[in-house]
Structure 1
């Protein structure tokens, strides 16, 4: 671990705005992600527009500046997912006049089923990436395979549940963000760990906001 970087972060010698990124596009992408999560936590549909902005910029940076092909493909996948979530909120918000589109928990049976589906998807993803890396020369040998696979797959599940305003999405984001803090710390990228810590706090904020909204609407 680069002790000078860690000391610099906690001593204040590294400007805190650098946690957002070191180039204008990185800063815009990070701000879009942070503000987008806040808006989604407040059930503001504009959060999805900022999510699309973040995904587009991140995909561009991954391909053109960072040479991270796998991450670039993942960011590209986020674009239609964000559009889908946006469209669901628009459709559900307009169509269900007799039933409010509010945050709810899934039935316990569905929670079990989606947990099993997530575990199977993580296993398929991990074995697939490992197999591709062994056969395709331009794909590097994956490190932290299972942890990285878990965060990747759970991202998709969380987005899917968030589109339907299911409270479980915040539980999944909790797992993703805790793993993100750990992964980037192990990979000696503490600034990204701190970013995930910020997202962890925003996820807790989102859960509180949705819980209060759900309780308020059920009391009406």
Structure 2
């Protein structure tokens, strides 16, 4: 049956402001991360706490669990960005190491197969394997972001492309639109971080010539 405009907006509005607040803080978090602002971490803590409830209510249990992991990674990343560089200095943008790529692929594959099977056989989760894949991809991307690896934005682009139709299917319309906006932010973040990395490399080269 074709959904009426009234039904669409009723579903989009949801039972309360919870999802909309999560959407706004989520967008702010990613924009701040793209700008390399430390404020992305406290904002992320608020957004993730809200999305634990939003995803659980929608039956996306893996994504609800993911928010708890994001909270832990955000606390870790907050420290890393401040003191993860040389001599406890601010962490610069850098390329992803080969072992990190291998570990990322192995983790995403194993988590998708294992947790997807668990969700499909032991719960009433919606889209268990897709849910597990986006969860694993998000965790991998978030870990690389915490380490300020440039290529984290590549992973976010892939994950966001999958999230948009999944969230729309689950009638989480504001969040689906949010992930569509995340695509643009991921491209912007890659461009900003790439520029920052080249600027840092140029400064290091200049410092080496001056020494």
Provide TM-score, normalisation by structure 1.
0.76
Equivalent in 135, 139, 163 of residue 152 of structure 1:
135
| C-alpha distance after superposition, 1:129-173 (max 9, x if no partner) | 34424653xx1265362x333211111111111111110101111
Q: Is residue 89 of structure 1 aligned with residue 67 of structure 2?
A: no
Equivalent in 53, 68, 71 of residue 60 of structure 1:
53
Q: Assess, with a 3 A threshold, how the Cα gap between structure 1 residues 85 and 20 changes in structure 2: closer, same or farther.
A: farther
Q: Is residue 70 of structure 1 aligned with residue 54 of structure 2?
A: no
Partner residue, 1:211:
194
Q: Assess, with a 3 A threshold, how the Cα gap between structure 1 residues 82 and 2 changes in structure 2: closer, same or farther.
A: farther
Cα distance in 2 for residues equivalent to 1:41 and 1:214: 13
1:1-220 alignment, distance < 5 Å: 2=2, 4=4, 23-63=16-56, 65-66=57-58, 68-92=60-84, 95-97=87-89, 101-107=91-97, 110=98, 113-133=99-119, 136=122, 139-140=123-124, 143=127, 145=129, 147-185=130-168, 191-220=174-203
Query: Is the Cα–Cα contact under 8 Å of residues 19 and 192 in structure 1 kept in the other structure?
Result: no
Query: RMSD across aligned C-alpha pairs, in angstroms?
Result: 3.2
SS in 2 for 1:165: coil
Count of residue pairs brought into register by the alignment: 203
Cα distance in 1 for residues equivalent to 2:54 and 2:120: 26
- The Cα shift of 1:218 comes to 2.3
Query: Is the Cα–Cα contact under 8 Å of residues 21 and 30 in structure 1 kept in the other structure?
Result: no
Query: Where do 5+ consecutive residues of structure 1 fail to align?
Result: none
SS in 1 for 2:145: helix
Q: Assess, with a 3 A threshold, how the Cα gap between structure 1 residues 67 and 157 changes in structure 2: closer, same or farther.
A: closer
Query: Is the Cα–Cα contact under 8 Å of residues 117 and 128 in structure 2 kept in the other structure?
Result: no
Query: Where do 5+ consecutive residues of structure 2 fail to align?
Result: 204-211
| C-alpha distance after superposition, 1:27-82 (max 9, x if no partner) | 2211111111111111110101111111111113445x446543332222221111
Q: Assess, with a 3 A threshold, how the Cα gap between structure 1 residues 186 and 142 changes in structure 2: closer, same or farther.
A: closer
